[in-house]
Structure 1
Amino acid sequence: MMELLQRGYVTSVAATAGCTTEVIQNDNWGIDVQFIRPAASATEAESALYAQLKSTTKVTPDPSKEFFSYQFTKRQYFDHMAKLRTYPKAVLIVMTLPQSQYEWTEVSHSGLLTKRACYWVHLEGVTSTAANPSVRIPLKNVFDANALTQILDKVDGSESLRD
C-alpha cells in the first residue's frame, strides 16, 4: 500500500511539473519510475530521469535537523543508485509515512492531503561497504514540482545533482 501511495504522490508532482510518469514494471535495475518532460520544440530532445521509490514508517523527519537517515533493506538497491550513469540520471525518492495506514491521507472538501512528504537524493558515486547501507536524505530536498523541474534542468545542462 505504501508503494501505491508513493506512486500517486510522484505522479501528481510530475503532472504539476508538466511531466509524465512511466512506471517500470520489471524492477531489473532498481528503477521504479521514469519521469519524462516534453521538449520545448520539435527539434529539441525531451528530458528524462529515473527514480527508485522507497517508503518508510520508521522515520519521522525532524524539521530542526538537516537530514534523516534511510537504510536500504537490500544492498543491490543501493548499488543501483550509486552506479555511474551517463543518461538518464537516477535519484532515490524516499517517502516518510505515519505508522497507521489510516493516517496517511486526510480528505476534506478542499482537497486530499497526503501526510508527510517525499524527499530525493542523488547517490551516484557514493560508496559503502555495509551490507545494508544507510544514506542521508537532506530535508531541504522535498520532492515537489519545483524540485523535479530543477533536477531536469540540471540534467539537461549536464550539471551535478549533488549540492
Structure 2
Amino acid sequence: MVELIGTGGIGKPRANHIEAVDPSSVTDMMEQLQQGYLMSIAASAGCTMELVNKDKWGVDAQFVRPPRSPHEEEGLLFAQLKCTTQTVPDPSKGFFSYQFTKRQYFDHMVKYRKNLKAILIVMTAPRRQRDWTTVDHAGLRTARACYWAHLEGVTADPSVMRPTVRVPTGNLLDSDALTEIFDRIDRGESLDG
C-alpha cells in the first residue's frame, strides 16, 4: 500500500528548475514525452493508450487491453499522468516522494472505485530538456522512466492542500508491469503491494 508521507501546505509557486528549449512550452513537452513513453509501453503490451480530453475526474488516459477471446470483455485501466524533473529515483531506497500540486488530483486517485481501477503514473525526467532522449543505431532511448502507484484508500488530513505520497521504485512501468496490472484486475486481486 502506498502511504502518505507529507503534510504539504498551501505552498509557494515552484521555481523553474528546467533547462528548457522553449520555457513557454516546456510543460506541454513534458506531457508529450510521457505520453509517447506510455503509448510505446502499451503497444509492447498489446494494449492501447487513449488520452482523455477532459480531465474532470483526475483521469488523463485510459489503457485498453483487448479481450483474449470473442466471449470476454476488454480490460480498462484509468491513469493520472504526472511528469517531474524534481527527483531522481534511487532504487536502493525503495521509493521516491511525489507531491501533488493540487489537492483535487490526490482526491481523485484515493477514492474507492468498485469497478474500474485507476493508477498514478509519475515520470521522472532530466532537468535539461535536450537530455530527455538520445538516439543511436540501436534505437531511441528515453532518459529516466515511469513509475506507478495505486493510491485507493490513502488518506490525508483535509487541511493538506498538496499531499505527498511515496511511489515505490519497484513499480517501474514497462510492458510486463502493465500486463501484470491487468492480470491482477482480471483476477480480482488488489493492486497494492
Same fold per TM (> 0.5)?
yes
Q: 2:78 aligns with which of 19, 43, 50?
A: 50
Q: Distance in 2 between matches of 1:22 and 1:137?
A: 23
1:87 to 115, 136, 140: 115
Q: Which runs of 4 or more aligned residues in structure 1 lie more than 2 Å from their structure 2 counterparts after TM superposition?
A: none
Structure 1 Cα separation of the partners of residues 179 and 91 of structure 2:
24
Question: Which one has the largest radius of gyration?
Answer: 2
Match of 2:103, as an amino acid? R
CA distance in 1, matches of 2:125, 2:49: 22
Per-residue CA distance 1:45-82 (angstroms, 9 max, x = gap): 11110000000000011122110000000000000000
Q: Which amino acid aligns with 1:128?
A: A
Q: Deviations over 1:95-116 (max 9, x none)?
A: 0011010011111111000000
- Whole-Å separation in 1 of the counterparts to 2:175 and 2:95: 20
TM-score normalised by length of structure 1: 0.98
Q: CA deviation at 1:12?
A: 0.4
Report matched runs for 1:1-163 at 5 Å.
Answer: 1-129=29-157, 130-163=160-193
Aligned residues, how many? 163
TM-aligned CA deviation for residue 4 of structure 1: 0.3
1:135-156 CA-partner distances (Å, limit 9, x unpaired):
0000000000000000001111
Q: What is the DSSP-based 3-state SS (H/G/I as helix, E as strand, rest coil) of the residue aligned with 2:34?
A: helix
2:38 partner SS: helix
Structure 1 residues without counterparts, runs of 5 or longer? none
Instruction: State TM-score, norm by structure 2.
Output: 0.83
Asked which structure has the greater RCO (Cα within 8 Å, sep 6+), the reply is 2
* Equivalent AA in structure 2 for residue 133 of structure 1: P
Which letter maps to 1:153? Answer: D
CA distance in 1 between counterparts of 2:176 and 2:136 reads 25
CA RMSD of aligned residues (A): 0.6
Separation in structure 1 between the aligned mates of residue 144 and residue 170 of structure 2, nearest angstrom:
14
